[in-house]
Amino acid sequence: MRPISPTVNHPMLHLLETSETLNTIKQVHAQMITTALILHTYPISRILLSSARFAPLPYTLTIFNQVRNPSIFLYNTLISSLTQKDQPKVAISLYCKILTTRQHMLKPNNYTYPSLFKAFGSHQWFEHGRALHAHVLKFLHTPYDGFVQASLLNFYSRCGRVDTARYFFDQISRPDLATLNSILSAYARDSSLGFVSDSGLEVLNLFGRMQKSLVEPNEVTLVALITACAELGALSQGTWAHVYVIRNGLSLNRFIGTALITLYANSGCLGFARQVFDKMPQKDTFCFNAMIRGLAVHGNGNESLDLFKIMKEEGFIPDDVTMLAVMCACSHVGLVDKGRKYFDSMIGIYGIEPKIEHYCCLVDLLGRAGLVKEAEERVLTMPVKPNAILWRSLLGAARVYGNLEIGEFALNKLLELETETSGNYVLLSNIYACMNKWEDVKRVRELMKEKGVDKTPGSSLVEVDGSMHEFLIGDKSHPRVGEIYSKLEEMNIKLREFGYRARTREVLFDIEEEEKEDALLYHSERLAIAFALVASDSRAPIRVIKNLRVCVDCHSITKILSAVYGREIIVRDRTRFHHFSNGSCSCLDYW
């Protein structure tokens, strides 16, 4: 019997395309064998794709292994299918077979590598991907064609190598939506790992370029944009993205909704965050986590715990992020017993092994409540090795409650891990200053000089009319510097009228008392507030983002300024939010 000439429109192939069960696929496969259709490359590629969707992996591999001298087209087809089924090990074994086969002219081509890079797009496969990148340069005559270039960009971005991803992005003259989304998502993920990083600003810059290129954003684009705005506290740009979602009839799905909740929570607009949460038609654990965390960092601990209860009642399973947010809620409002209970429930009830972050939160909870000795015991008996964050948390608790012994012990442990982090020395120095141990303060300062450690400069961001403005301590680089310093002088006069006296004990400088007061007067958040008072609508809240923990002195003066100028001032530091209004703070001075 002569083989049937295969065509794309062959009825058997059409039946194969519409098959939705393994049994049907097996019947078509049998017919392809009896009619000799299986002898041709294109029909084989179709049965491989259908088999990969519904059949067990061994069945699909058996079909492939029965092909004599399979072409690179068939190898690529199967590798692509395996990638979609999350089978990177089998995919790479097929690639190795390509390299080791003696079949003439069988070499990987530009369609082989994109699927493999997609399979390796996670940190655990990074080294394999780098080796594959070397093979691209070795085996392809034109290694950086459009498909391979885009796949390399996507691979490096998903593995967190943003600089390398950006290199490949810059080689593409007219990036399409998928390529733009890949680099935007890479920068957005990177921005969420640090404090107000340049990555977040780069997302805004790239999105501006995207708008000029007339490429329409989609859901992935908007999630990346909103995520970056959330980390930057760029409320205006994030709100624009929200309006875009509404005007274009896009669904408020779990991904966009979670990003918007984080945006509004991070920008101090907790009411808007809750509105988004309540309007979402479908929720998942990530949505609840974002809202629970948002309530927690704003000091709404009891409301956060109430939402956690609702989450469980609605059948959602808490994960390690949920429990971290719940413990954070307890820490910020001093619910020590509940915090201990939730920590102990992680293994006993939810089967979640506590991570170092959970221990850090527990130590912070105990330390804030003055249980410094218990916090130390937890550190010394925990099953995982304490990290610098945990020792710093214990050191901070020792500072607040003047426990010199534990403070020195924690600092020594810190210095074993971080010899050049200025904040560690500053914390210990502040303990000595509060106990009037000025010789020890001087000794710490000399130790910093000896090791070449400089105090980390405070920086503050404030958004005015959709633009972000950054200030450092004593900053005079702003175009409106004259107006800013005039407003500062006015602020200082009003503060003195309210009986304000600078708290200079914790200023770590070898300078006289009067100079210490000057240093406090020009802290970065005060410059940011002064600029906002000059440049923004007198009815609008002032939103400041600070890279360090708010110092005691700035916390005191911001309470007064909120009353003097009748302005709500929302300060986001590296641990929580402070809502200053009418002379008081939402943290109730517990932070």
- With 80 as the cut, is the pLDDT of residue 478 above it? yes
Cα dist from 522 to 92, 150, 516, 528, 545, whole Å: 59, 48, 10, 10, 16
* Per-residue model confidence as pLDDT tens digits over 148-182: 888 999 899 888 899 999 999 998 888 899 999 99
* Per-residue model confidence as pLDDT tens digits over 327-349: 999 998 889 999 999 999 999 89
The whole-number pLDDT of residue 255 equals 94
The domains of the chain, with CATH numbers, are: 355-456 (1.25.40.10), 460-585 (no CATH)
* Total length of the chain: 591
Reported confidence tier of residue 10, pLDDT bands at 50, 70, 90? confident
Cα separation, 278 vs 295, whole angstroms:
14
* Per-residue model confidence as pLDDT tens digits over 398-416: 877 878 889 889 888 887 8
Reported confidence tier of residue 103, pLDDT bands at 50, 70, 90? low
Reported confidence tier of residue 503, pLDDT bands at 50, 70, 90? low
Average model confidence (pLDDT) for the chain?
86
* Per-residue model confidence as pLDDT tens digits over 242-280: 999 999 988 899 999 999 999 999 988 999 999 999 999
Cα separation, 64 vs 92, whole angstroms:
15
CA atoms within 13 A on the CB side of 559: 16
Cα separation, 536 vs 235, whole angstroms:
14
**Residue 578 main-chain phi, psi, to 5 deg:** -125, 120
Between 86 and 462, name the one with better pLDDT: 462
- With 70 as the cut, is the pLDDT of residue 453 above it? no
Flag the least confident range among 10-14, 37-41, 84-88: 10-14
Q: Using an 8 Å Cβ cutoff, are 522 and 529 in contact?
A: no
CA atoms within 13 A on the CB side of 346: 23
| Rounded mean pLDDT, 479-493 | 93
In sequence order, what are the beta bridge partners of 578? Answer: 571
| Rounded mean pLDDT, 276-285 | 94
* Per-residue model confidence as pLDDT tens digits over 354-379: 999 999 999 989 998 889 999 999 99
The whole-number pLDDT of residue 231 equals 87
Count of C-beta atoms within a 10 Å radius of residue 272 = 18
> pTM of this prediction?
0.78
- With 80 as the cut, is the pLDDT of residue 110 above it? yes
Tokens of 333: 């409002």
* Per-residue model confidence as pLDDT tens digits over 176-226: 999 999 999 999 888 776 744 678 889 999 999 998 888 899 999 999 999
- With 80 as the cut, is the pLDDT of residue 298 above it? yes
- With 90 as the cut, is the pLDDT of residue 86 above it? no
Reported confidence tier of residue 549, pLDDT bands at 50, 70, 90? confident
Element (H, E) at 572: strand 569-572
- With 80 as the cut, is the pLDDT of residue 419 above it? no
Cα separation, 323 vs 327, whole angstroms:
6
Q: What percent of the chain has pLDDT over 70?
A: 91
Reported confidence tier of residue 39, pLDDT bands at 50, 70, 90? confident
The whole-number pLDDT of residue 502 equals 66
Highest-confidence segment of 4-8, 207-211, 255-259, 573-577: 255-259
Residue 545's SS3 state is strand
- With 70 as the cut, is the pLDDT of residue 321 above it? yes
